[in-house]
Structure 1
Amino acid sequence: MQAKQTLIKNVKIVNEGSIFDGDILIEGEYIKEINESISAKTSDVHVFDAEGQYLLPGVIDDQVHFREPGLTQKATIETESRAAIAGGITSFIEMPNTNPQTTTIEKLQEKFDIAAKTSAANYSFMFGGTNDNLEEILKVDPKQVAALKLFLGSSTGNMLVDNPEVLEKIFSSTKLLIAVHCEDEATIKANLAKYQEEFGEDIPIKHHPDIRSEEACYISSSKAIELAKKTGARLHVFHLSTAKETSLFSNKIPLKDKKITAEVCVHHLWFTDKDYEEKGTFIKWNPAVKSQADKDGLWKALLDDRIDVIATDHAPHTLEEKNNVYTKAPSGGPLVQHALPAMLEMYHREKISLEKIVEKMCHNPAILFQVEKRGFIKEGYFADLVLVDLHHPWSVNKDNILYKCGWSPFQGATFRSRITHTFVNGTLAYKNFKFYDVKAAKQLTFDR
C-alpha cells in the first residue's frame, strides 16, 4: 500500500534549463512541494533518500507504434508501455497504423479502452487521415487526441494520403496539430525499381539510404511545409533524417509560438550508414539512417533549436520478419527502453547537456502538444518522475530486453547511466528492472 505522501530527499533536479539540489514532496498524483529541504510532517510519509541521483521529468514520447490491435505478435500496449517506463518514458502518443487502422472514432475509442485496462504509462493516440475520412477527422475532440497523423510517403493499408486536393482540404479544415511522415513515394518507387533490376529482391542493405534518399525526404518535407504556410495549419514533421531538411525549420521564435516544428529520432542521432554492415536490417527504418554528414547536421539543428523534439518511432517487428531479405524485411525497430539511456550516453560523450535532453524529451513535447500538467517538475503538476544514476553501467542483452519482440538495435551496447526508479502519477511503478503491479497510468489530456 503506497503512503499518501512520498518525500524524495537529496536529489539533483533537472528542470527548465537548470540543475539544483533539493527535495520533492509528492501527494497523491501530484507534486505538492519542491524545496531545498523538506521535512516529513507526519509518520504517514514514505521518505526516500535519492543520495544525489538526478531527477528528470518523465519523458513524453510523441511517436510510438505499439501494434495493438491486430499486430500483437510484434507487441502490445501492455508489453511496450512496461518497456517504456523501464526506459523513463512515462507518457506515449501512439500511431494509427494498427489493424484495423485508427481512422474512425469507433476504432480510436477501442484503443483508449485497451490502454485504460493494460497500459503502464500515460497514453494518447493519434487519429489517422486517409484520402476519404475528412468527415471522421472533423469529429475528433482536440482535448482528448494528441494530433492527426498523415502519411505523405509509404504507409500500410490505405493510409497514404496522396490526393493533393484532399490534402489541402484536410490542412485547411482541421484545428488539430498535423503530424506527418514525409518521404516522396514516386522517388522511392523509381529508386527501388533501379536496385531491383540490379539485385532482385536481395538488395544489399547498404542501399537503403539510396532508395529512401535525401531527395525523397526533402521533396516531401518541403511540400508539406509549403502547404502548411499556405493554409495556416499547425504542422509537426516527424523523424527528420537529412541535414538538408533542417534548413526548412527556424529557431527564430519560441516553441510555443511556432506553427511548423520538427522532430528527430534517437536512431538517426546514433547510427550512420556505416552501421549497416554490422547491424543489417535491424537498423532498417523509414526514413533511412543516412550518412555521418546527415547525422552531424541533425545534431547541429537539434542543439540550435531548429529541431524541437527527440522521439523514438518505436516500431517493433519479430526477429523472423527482420531476418528476411531486404525487400521483405519490414522497416522499424524497438527503442522505448533504451532511448533515454542512449541520450544520457551522448551526455557522457559531451554531445548534449542533461538540461537539453530534458528540454527535447520532456518539456518540448508537452509544449508542442499542449499536454496538460506534464513534462515539467513543477508544483501542481502530475508526479511523472524518473530517477537516474549517471554512474551505474549496464549492457543491453537478450536477458534484460523487455520488448515483446525480444531484440534491440542496441544489443551489445553498454550504457553508463541507468534508470533506477520511475514514478507514474505519483506512484512508484518501476525500480531497477522490477515492476510494481500498479495501475497508475492515465489518459493524457490537452490544454486546447
Structure 2
Amino acid sequence: MHELVVEDAMVSFDGEILACSIGIDEGKITRIAKVLKGEEKYDARGRLVMPGVIDSHVHFRDMRQEEKEDWLSGSKAALYGGVTTVVDMPNSDPPTFDAEAFKVKQTVAANRSMVDFSLNAGVGDNLPQLPQLWKLGALAFGEIFMAKSTGGFSIDEPALKEALKAITLMGATASIHAEDEALHEELKKSLKHDPSSSIHSKLRPRESEINAVEAAIRLARETRVAMHITHISTSRAVELISREGITCDVTPHHLLLTMDHWDRLGSHAKMNPPIRHDSDRNALWKAVNDGSIEVLASDHAPHTLDEKNLPVREAPSGVPGVETMLPLMLKAVADKRLPLQRLIDMTSANPARIFGIEGKGSFAAGNDADMVFVDMAKVRQITPAGLHSKAGWTPYRGFEAIFPEAVMLRGDIVLDGKDFYAKRGTGKFIPGKGYKRLSDVLKMARAGKRT
C-alpha cells in the first residue's frame, strides 16, 4: 500500500492518453498502474496530469532588485503556472560570477522559494572562479552574453573561447545568449534618429542572432563544449543549430508575438532578442513541432510597470512569463498547433536531460512526485490582475490560456483550485554535476579515513 495514490489520472504515455493511478511514497513516484491502494488518496477527477514543468530560464531578481521580483513572488507565480522547478540566470544584482555571490543567492532562494531551484553561474572576466562555482553546485554556465543585455554583461570571442575550454574540462554545459554586440553598436549610430515603435527590433536585427550563432557554433567545434543556445528567434539560427547537435530553447513570446505587436504593446514587447516577423515565428513553430527545438523556456524577466511604461529606447528589456508559459502552450495544444506530448517533452523530460536535473522531468519510478492537474476544457483570458508576479503587467493581456487547476510538489498538493498551500522556504536546491562529484570525492575520503 502506498502512502498516497493519485486516482483517475489521465496521463500521456508517448502521446497516448490513458487512465491510471499513480503511487507516491516519501514524495517520490513509486508505481503507475490502473488501480492502486493508498493510505491517502487524491482524486484527479479525470483531469490531464502532467509532470511538473521545469522552466530552465528565469530571472527571479531579488536582493538589490526586489522591487521587480523576489524568490517568494516569482515562485508563487511559477506554481500558479504549473512550474515546479526553475533555473535562475546569473545576471542578478549582485551577479553570480563568484563563489560569495553564488552562496548569497542560494541562501536567499532557500529561504524564500516555494519551488525547487537550480542556479546557473555567470561567465565574463572570472575564468579562475569557474571551477569553484561548478563545485558549489552551478547547474550550467550562462546565459553567457555575447552582447550586452540586462545587467550590461558581455564577453568577447577570445575570452569566450577560453571560458568554453574550461567548461569543457569540467564536463559542464555552456548556455549562450547569441547576439552580435559589434553590429548593435553600428546600428545605434545609423538609426539614432529613427522614431519608429519597432526600433528595438531594428537595433538588434535577425542578422545579429545569426552572426552570433555562427560564431558560437565555430567555438563549440573548436572547444568541443556541450553547448545550449537560449531563446532562439530566427529561422536561420534554427537551421544552423539543428545541423550541429547543439540544443536550444524557444520562448512563448517569440512564438506568439511579432513585429505587428509593437504598435499596441510598445515597451511591453521589448526583450532580447526582440520579436521578429511572421516568417521567423512560423519557422519556430515548425521547429517546435519537428523536434529541432527541444526546450520551451519562459525567459521570465520582470521589470516594474513604471520602468516598462518608458519610451522603447529607454525601457529595460524583458517580459514576465513564468506563470503564463504553460497556460499559453496548453491553449496551443487545444488549438492543434502543438501535440501534447511535444509540450510535455519540451517542458519536463528534455530540460531535465539536457541540463542534468536529477529526479525531475518524468513520471519514472524514483522521480519526485511533481504534477500538474489540468482541465483542458477550462479556457480563460489572461489579465494582469489574475497573475502573481510583482511585475503587475503582461504582454499577453487578453490572450486565451488554460491554467492548471492543481499542482503537486514532491508529493504535497501546493495549489488546489483557489486554495494555495505552499510555504516560503520549502523549495529544494538542485545542484549540478560538479557538486555531486565533489560530494562523492568527500564521501570516499571520509570512508578511507574510517578504514
Deviation per CA, 1:159-218, whole angstroms, max 9, x where unpaired? 2112x322111111122200011110111122222222x24xxx3322322211011110
The residue aligned with 2:112 is: 118
Amino acid at match of 2:427: A
The residue aligned with 2:330 is: 344
Match of 2:209 among 202, 217, 220: 217
Q: Which has the higher helix share?
A: 2
The residue aligned with 1:190 is: 186
The residue aligned with 2:159 is: 166
The residue aligned with 2:420 is: 435
The residue aligned with 1:72 is: 66
Amino acid at match of 1:22: C
Amino acid at match of 2:315: A
Uncovered stretches (5+) of structure 1, i.e. residues with no partner: 253-257
Identity %: 30
Deviation per CA, 1:421-444, whole angstroms, max 9, x where unpaired? 111111111122432143542111
Amino acid at match of 2:287: A
Matches within 5 A, 1:48-447: 48-130=42-124, 132-141=125-134, 144-149=137-142, 150-157=144-151, 159-162=153-156, 164-174=157-167, 175=170, 176-196=172-192, 198-199=193-194, 203-250=195-242, 258=245, 260-415=246-401, 417-438=402-423, 439-446=425-432
Cα deviation, residue 143, structure 1: 7.9
Cα deviation, residue 89, structure 1: 0.6
TM-score by length of 1: 0.92
Deviation per CA, 1:304-351, whole angstroms, max 9, x where unpaired? 222110100000011100111121111111001110000011111111
Deviation per CA, 1:130-177, whole angstroms, max 9, x where unpaired? 1x2101012223682211011111134562112x32211111112220
Indicate the SS of the match to 2:346: helix
Determine the C-alpha separation between the residues in 2 that align with 1:400 and 1:232: 45
Deviation per CA, 1:367-421, whole angstroms, max 9, x where unpaired? 0001111010111110111111101122222321111111111122232x22011
Contact 2:102–2:133 (CA<8 Å) still a contact in 1? no
Match of 2:12 among 11, 14, 31: 14
Structure 1's 445 and 98: CA in aligned 2 closer, same or farther, altered over 3 A?
Answer: closer
Amino acid at match of 2:420: F
Determine the C-alpha separation between the residues in 2 that align with 1:294 and 1:414: 22
TM-score by length of 2: 0.91
Determine the C-alpha separation between the residues in 2 that align with 1:145 and 1:293: 37
Determine the C-alpha separation between the residues in 2 that align with 1:158 and 1:296: 31
Uncovered stretches (5+) of structure 2, i.e. residues with no partner: 435-451
The number of residues matched between the two structures is: 429
Contact 2:63–2:93 (CA<8 Å) still a contact in 1? yes
Amino acid at match of 1:148: F
The residue aligned with 1:31 is: 29
Query: Which segment drifts farther, 203-212 or 365-374?
Result: 203-212
Amino acid at match of 1:21: A
Amino acid at match of 1:25: G
The residue aligned with 2:441 is: none
Query: Which segment drifts farther, 235-244 or 434-443?
Result: 434-443
Indicate the SS of the match to 1:127: coil
Could you say what the CA RMSD is over the residues aligned between the two structures, in angstroms?
Answer: 1.8
Deviation per CA, 1:108-147, whole angstroms, max 9, x where unpaired? 01111111111011101110011x2101012223682211
Contact 1:15–1:377 (CA<8 Å) still a contact in 2? no
